[in-house]
Amino acid sequence: MYNLSPAVRRLLDRKILQESSNPLNLLKRRVVDYVHHTYRKPGNRSPLFTICESEPRVVTTFQNFDSLLTPDDHVSRRPSDTYYVNRGHCLRAHTSAHQHNLMQQGLDAFLVIGDVYRRDEVDRTHYPCFHQYPRDMRFWIQLQYPQDLRFWIQYRSVYRICYSNPGTVSPRSEILDPVTIEGVRLYSKDDLLGKKPDGSNAADLFTPTPDTKRIPEKQETHSIDATKATEIQLKQFLESLCDELFGKDAEKRWVDAYFPFTHPSWELEVFYNGQWLEVLGCGIMEQKLLESAGVTDKIGWAFGIGLERIAMVLYGIPDIRYARIGLLIILVERFGFLVSIRWKTAGDDVKYKQISSHPQVIFDISFFLPESTQFNDMTSDVYDTIRTIGGELVEQVKLTDEFENKKKGKKESNVSNRLP
């Protein structure tokens, strides 16, 4: 293993999305059940979307980066950001890594569900392993806590967690969502645009002569009719999914966005429990991604949802670690939380209830760095080491002070660890 810590290797042994008593499994089943029930193939009425949740976690660097048009010098390729098994293989940083192969296999409607791995900080909304319904996205969530403590969470492949007093916002660190779901739907010309009464084509997917540059409304090669029709199909799909999760009475709004693999792109916000929540990100897939997989006669959309983040909102879970541990005895004995009812079905109204009033325990660690070493270069190694030793008991790790003794040429750093 190139840079896999023992803590990350332990995560590879777990199958959280297959644990019936886990809230992430409940949320996954809720999404899958809805999609299977609502979207069926004509004729035999079999499910339209293929569910892919057994894809390998170890992927090639081509799958993780090149197939998604990631530049060779992009920061995400660095060992400080990605877990490498060897020079040519790594742990998937997003479930989009499977997109290329699945389209090559001929699938034109699928959900990829799984955990993803990125090297990052340690805090209550941060975890090295994530579960995803794919898409690159950005979320803002506002959760209400005791003593009016508020957390704002942003996710654009990473989150930002902000600690603040009421009425103020002060970003502190970036975090990730380990479990994600990515959805992809491809359309042929007949599927999307149909035919006129006389049997002729209603419109074309692509422009006869590609434009020299793209415009905000569409990509260079797409026709405006195909773009608008794909947008309508995408937004109808996602609005109905949000109705299932948050209720049909929840107010929704679309916001223009930017994502590297879709254009145009949007974010869907839902007004839930008195707050606007960025639920997901989506867009019309870059045609180059389809062409690289051998799909030259179709157009498609993609979206992505982070399960931990949604579970924290729907189930009232204040800490990302609790979303990953659904057993009552573990929550009571190790974390001071209990579940108001046992996890039973995906439709249950389940909330976490805090029972412990004990404060967290904070430990400080100070250490010297060699003159040639910068703290930022070894940040991920420090987080991995602390996570390996402390496991899920460690709630948060952050740098509190950095001092350089210019006379002795030594740098001292102080790291604070907080246990619940």
Task: Please give the distance of CA 192 from its chain centroid, rounded to a whole number.
Answer: 28
How far apart (Å, rounded) are the C-alpha atoms in residues 26 and 323? 11
- pLDDT averaged over the chain? 74
Measure the CA angle with vertex 145, ends 334 and 150; round to 5°.
120
Least confident of 241-245, 277-281, 323-327, 329-333: 329-333
Six-digit token string for 58: 């170890």
Q: What is the rounded average pLDDT of the residues 356-373?
A: 69
pTM over 0.75: no
Contacts of 335 (CB under 8 A, 6+ apart): 319, 321, 322, 325, 356, 420
How far apart (Å, rounded) are the C-alpha atoms in residues 370 and 92? 32
Which CATH superfamily does the domain covering 361-419 fall into? Ferrodoxin-fold anticodon-binding domain (3.30.70.380)
Six-digit token string for 359: 């404060």
For 258-270, what is each residue's pLDDT tens digit? 988 899 999 999 9
Residue found by looking up tokens 């997003």 in the block: 94
Q: Which long-range contacts (CB under 8 A, 24 or more apart) does 84-87 make?
A: 84/2, 84/3, 84/4, 85/1, 85/2, 85/4, 85/58, 86/2, 87/2, 87/61
For 215-251, what is each residue's pLDDT tens digit? 999 999 999 999 999 999 999 999 999 999 999 998 9
- Highest-scoring range by mean pLDDT, 211-225, 253-267, 312-326: 253-267
Core vs surface per residue 184-198: b (16+ CB within 10 A) or e = bbbbebeebbeeeee
Given a cut of 80, is residue 320 above it in pLDDT?
A: no
Domain at 6-314: CATH code? 3.30.930.10
How far apart (Å, rounded) are the C-alpha atoms in residues 321 and 338? 13
Helix crossing, 224-246 with 307-314: angle to 10°?
A: 40
Inter-residue contact 296 to 290 (CB < 8 Å): yes
Inter-residue contact 399 to 173 (CB < 8 Å): no
**336: DSSP letter:** S
Inter-residue contact 352 to 332 (CB < 8 Å): no
So what's the pLDDT on residue 174?
Answer: 29
So what's the pLDDT on residue 347?
Answer: 61
Given a cut of 60, is residue 134 above it in pLDDT?
A: no
Q: Give me the sheet containing 140-144, strands edge to edge.
A: 140-144, 150-155, 159-164, 171-175
How far apart (Å, rounded) are the C-alpha atoms in residues 356 and 334? 11
Report percent pLDDT > 70 for the chain.
67
Q: What is the rounded average pLDDT of the residues 36-57?
A: 92
Six-digit token string for 298: 């179709």
Residue ranges of the domains in the chain? Answer: 6-314, 361-419
The Cβ-side half-sphere exposure at 235, using a 13 Å CA radius, reads 17
Q: What is the rounded average pLDDT of the residues 151-164?
A: 28
How far apart (Å, rounded) are the C-alpha atoms in residues 65 and 347? 37
DSSP reduced 3-state for 166? coil
Q: How long is the chain?
A: 420
